[in-house]
Every structure is written in structure tokens, then in C-alpha cells.
């Protein structure tokens, strides 16, 4: 079982719609969760971080965390063509040596159609 | 406020050659992590440097080595290049002393795209 799983997509939504991106993780002791956006040929950019159960809103972005169900999601309201990118989920956990490590999903490709 | 800078941005090598990639972290950051990202894949952690020492290492062979300098900048060296080493190499900076919950907040450079022929 992969440690962090995302639907690879592509997820296609019309402009102005809500895009919903999901991520599940396997390590129950994971503490911190991050969403990065990566445009084609560019490097990842942090857009949201969430640490507690519930919702966290930042502009058009809302991150949702449910530790009991081990999933974290990202909602993008009023989607714009400029939101078209790959969205990477990253989960902060601990390895066997109790060292912190960041586990990455493979990313979900989002296409917002004008 | 200078962000993370990497060089070179693109380079082409042949199998068996060696390559050195360079990274300067974001101003105020002291920790550098290196990632390899193949096309269509998520970033794969190579290693992390803090206080000029390798602190963590991912599942990469010894052909991949690194160094961190007193000014916090870092180099990634890859020896005996293979075709499969072709990828985008990303440098990410962070603050070692950040609160544990924040240590996943990485700032990436634009990457060095390596092509091995």
C-alpha cells in the first residue's frame, strides 16, 4: 500500500466550478499535511498546510482534514484556468529512527476549462 | 528577500559522466533538502543537509552524494550517470529549528533539469 495516495486524474472542471482534490495516507501518527501546486515544468509551491481536524480556509482554497478516516482534501472555489496544474499532497510523518520525513503523493492533474 | 536559487537550470550529460548541481537556500534558512522528480511522478527525497552534515537520506545509491557549505549553500553530485537519472532535481530549503508541525513547509528552487543521453 502506498503511503500517500492521490487520484492521478486528470480532473477536469469548468471555470467557476468547485474543484475537489483528495488524498489518503496510511500512517496514523502523521501530524502535518500540505498541499503543493506544481505548474508544468516548474517547481512545487506550498499553497496550504493543515494540522488539526476540520477545515482551514485561505482565499479560494479550503483544506479539510479527517485524521480518523486518514484523508485530507483541497477544495478550490471559483476555479480559474490559472489553477490548472498538478496538486501534490505531502504528509509529515516519522520513520523507524523517529526522524521526521515528508511523504509525497504522485499528484492530481487539474484542468480548468474556460 | 532572495528565494531558493539553483544552477544550472538545464544540462545534458552522457552515461558514465559526473554532474554537480548547486543550490542556495532562501535567506534565513539553514536546511537544504534535495529531491529527484521524474516526469509524471511526485518528488523523491534524496537527502537533507543541516550544519554541513547529511541528516537524512532517501533510498538512493551512493552514486548520489552531497555537501553543505558554511554559508548553507549545498551541492548535489551524481557519479556514473545512468539514463534513469534523467529528471528534474529540486532543492528545497527550510528552517531546522521550525516547530515540528511546520517542518513540511518547504521552499523550492526552480530546479535543474538533467538529461542523460
Residues of B in contact with A93 (CB under 8 A): none
Ranges of residues in chain B with a pLDDT under 50 are: none
pLDDT of residue A13: 96
Q: How far is A32 from chain B (nearest CA, A)?
A: 6
Q: Do B42 and A107 touch (CB under 8 A)?
A: yes
Q: If you measure CA to CA, which chain B residue comes closest to A102?
A: B104
CA distance A100 to A95: 6
* pLDDT value of residue A18: 97
What pLDDT, on a 0 to 100 scale, did the predictor assign at position A97? 60
Q: For residues A21 and A73, is the Cβ–Cβ distance under 8 A? A: yes
Which residues in chain A land under pLDDT 50?
A: none
Helix (H, G, I), strand (E, B) or coil at A83: helix
Contact B90, A44 (CB under 8 A): yes
Amino acid at each position: 500500500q502506498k503511503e500517500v495516495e492521490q487520484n492521478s486524474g486528470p480532473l477536469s472542471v469548468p471555470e467557476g466550478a468547485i474543484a475537489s482534490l483528495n488524498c489518503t495516507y496510511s500512517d496514523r501518527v502523521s501530524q502535518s499535511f500540505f498541499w503543493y501546486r506544481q505548474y508544468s515544468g516548474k517547481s512545487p509551491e506550498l499553497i496550504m498546510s493543515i494540522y488539526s481536524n476540520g477545515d482551514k480556509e485561505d482565499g479560494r482554497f479550503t483544506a479539510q482534514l479527517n485524521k480518523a478516516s486518514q484523508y485530507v482534501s483541497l477544495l478550490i472555489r471559483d476555479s480559474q484556468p490559472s489553477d490548472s496544474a498538478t496538486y501534490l499532497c505531502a504528509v509529515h510523518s516519522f520513520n523507524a529512527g523517529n526522524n521526521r520525513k515528508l511523504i509525497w503523493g504522485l499528484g492530481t492533474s487539474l484542468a480548468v476549462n474556460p | 528577500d532572495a528565494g531558493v536559487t539553483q544552477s544550472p537550470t538545464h544540462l545534458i550529460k552522457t552515461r558514465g559522466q559526473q554532474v554537480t548541481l548547486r543550490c542556495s537556500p532562501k535567506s534565513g534558512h539553514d536546511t537544504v533538502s534535495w529531491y529527484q522528480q521524474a516526469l509524471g511522478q511526485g518528488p523523491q527525497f534524496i537527502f537533507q543537509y543541516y550544519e554541513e552534515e547529511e541528516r537524512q537520506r532517501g533510498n538512493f545509491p551512493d552514486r548520489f552524494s552531497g555537501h553543505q557549505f558554511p554559508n548553507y549553500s549545498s551541492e548535489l553530485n551524481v557519479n556514473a550517470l545512468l539514463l534513469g537519472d534523467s529528471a528534474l532535481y529540486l532543492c528545497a530549503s527550510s528552517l531546522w529549528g521550525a516547530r515540528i508541525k511546520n517542518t513540511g513547509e518547504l521552499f523550492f528552487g526552480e530546479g535543474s533539469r538533467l538529461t542523460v543521453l
